[in-house]
Structure 1
């Protein structure tokens, strides 16, 4: 588009900040409305696979991510005792490493700084209170009482997206899978040079993921009742009880888990917006449109791809509606592949019956998916 746009991004997470960087560097006026009071990213750390790192390169922040993270090349599969069963080299996209583990707060800081340097504005403690799309623009009232008119509103506001509810009501509420993720940051062991995945009977898997030269996180997936929450006084003990069948590096990591407050617990849910992801000039992206289970480690990668591809389509299209249609045509098949295969892997690992369509996806498997996803997006 020849004329710079005014874009409001609802949500200052990884996807929202990536979009702010991409658009502001292209000369658009970008404001991010973030409900939190600062960019204090929740959680422990994440994996940036090669396709996510390719986006970081396009945003100009690849080196900053690698400086504060831990680059790795090989996935190690172990038995519950910690004995290696396989070492699987990971593929890479042109110009990007295979993987990088990074603390979530460090990634938020990198992207927040890049957004500010590009000229985007982040307004903390604010959310959308009212919204009216007349086809030519969107009039928005924010929760602080301020108003503005925007050419485009983008909802990067997560799996519980208020903007999704505003557009579609309760038709696309998060679907709980019956499983939950336990994660905690611990000192990195010297032998953990990449993700180490141990499989067992009670847990779908336990993973050790390096996120800095000094730190890694222990993650484990278990079947949990929907209303279960860890005991604030003994969450570390509850995690140890669930991992009692694991030895080796997982057991060693557990010796460092002594603070219940350090344990991060999150239910694994997914969202599938089967209707178009945009209504007029308001569009959903990332987890707001297509949240997946974490089994391919591609949730954040899909969000940052959404961001970069949206910026590219706004470059190429004659107007906003055409850009949104072209963006969704590019993004939906890839995001749905990630979601469908991630869910199939979860079901396979936990002994849940799979459909014939899921069986076909499982023939690709996690290693095959990595090779699919390093192809251009």
Structure 2
């Protein structure tokens, strides 16, 4: 673009803040609207694989992410008893560690500080009330009553994206996979120097992920009925029931979870927007367009890749229409690879039937996927 753009980012999560910083660093004007009252990231911790860390390097926050987290190089595979089956070195992109765990609140702070340093305003407690795409721009009215014209509106507003509903109605809604994710922060065991995955011939998988020198999180993927919700007073006991067959470090970590406080439960759903990810000058990205199961730990990585590639496409092309087409041409195959293989891995790990197409993807597995995803995005 020869003229800087004015871009409204709907959603102050990982992808939205990354886009805002990338745009500002390229000379565009960005503003973020966020329905929450602060950047109080929900959840426990998150894995930043090498491709996500490479994006953090590009927007100038890699060192802050690594300092706030726990970088690691090797993925450990165990059986349910805790016996190590394999240690798999993880590939890396140039200039970034192989992977790192980080507390979600710490990552939110890193990105929030970078957003402020870039001069990007965040309007909290605010969402889009009305919008009208006029062709050359988008007229937007916000819930605080203000209105303005923007060159582009981008929705990084999550799996339940209100902006997606505005564009497509109920055509693309979250699909529950039949599985859920339990997570809780616990003291890091000295032997947990990277992600430890424990799985076997069962519908349950357990993981340990270091997120600081002192902390890690215990996660469990379990089959659950659609209407199940943990008992607020017994969530730790219900988690223990589901992990009763696990020994070794998983059992040791579980023994430290003595109350329901801090146990986070979320159903695993996915969204596939099988239509253009933009309508005119209104765009959806990240989980709003292609939410995946967590089996490759690539959901946030795909969002920040979306953000950086969108900012670069806007710089590289002569007009917005060409930029959005180029962005989606680059992003869709990679995001769909992650979504399809993640879902296939979920089925394989939990003993569910897979399709012939999924069997083909599974030949690569997690190690093969890691090598694909450290290639340029």
TM-score, with length taken from structure 1: 0.99
**Deviations 1:226-253 (Å, cap 9, x if unpaired)?**
1100000100000001000011100110
After alignment, is 322-331 or 200-209 more displaced? 200-209
Q: Paired residue for 1:344? A: 344
SS in 2 for 1:329: helix
Q: Paired residue for 1:194? A: 194
Q: Is contact 2:78–2:197 with CA below 8 Å preserved after alignment?
A: yes
Q: Paired residue for 2:154? A: 154
Q: Paired residue for 1:274? A: 274
Q: 1:99: how far off?
A: 0.2
Q: Is contact 1:203–1:242 with CA below 8 Å preserved after alignment?
A: no
| d(CA) in 1 for partners of 2:200, 2:8 | 45
Structure 1 residue 298 corresponds to structure 2 residue 293: no
Structure 1 residue 368 corresponds to structure 2 residue 368: yes
Q: Is contact 1:158–1:288 with CA below 8 Å preserved after alignment?
A: yes
List structure 1 segments (4+ residues) > 6 angstroms apart after TM superposition. Answer: none
Q: Paired residue for 1:285? A: 285
Question: 1:1-377 alignment to 2 at 5 Å?
Answer: 1-377=1-377
User: Gapped runs of 5+ residues in structure 2?
Assistant: none
Q: Is contact 1:51–1:93 with CA below 8 Å preserved after alignment?
A: yes
Q: 1:201: how far off?
A: 3.8
Q: 1:27: how far off?
A: 1.3
Q: 1:76: how far off?
A: 0.5
Q: 1:177: how far off?
A: 0.2
| d(CA) in 2 for partners of 1:116, 1:176 | 36
Q: 1:337: how far off?
A: 0.2
Q: 1:358: how far off?
A: 0.7
User: Gapped runs of 5+ residues in structure 1?
Assistant: none
| d(CA) in 2 for partners of 1:97, 1:363 | 26
Q: 1:258: how far off?
A: 1.6
SS in 2 for 1:261: coil
SS in 1 for 2:92: coil
TM-score, with length taken from structure 2: 0.99
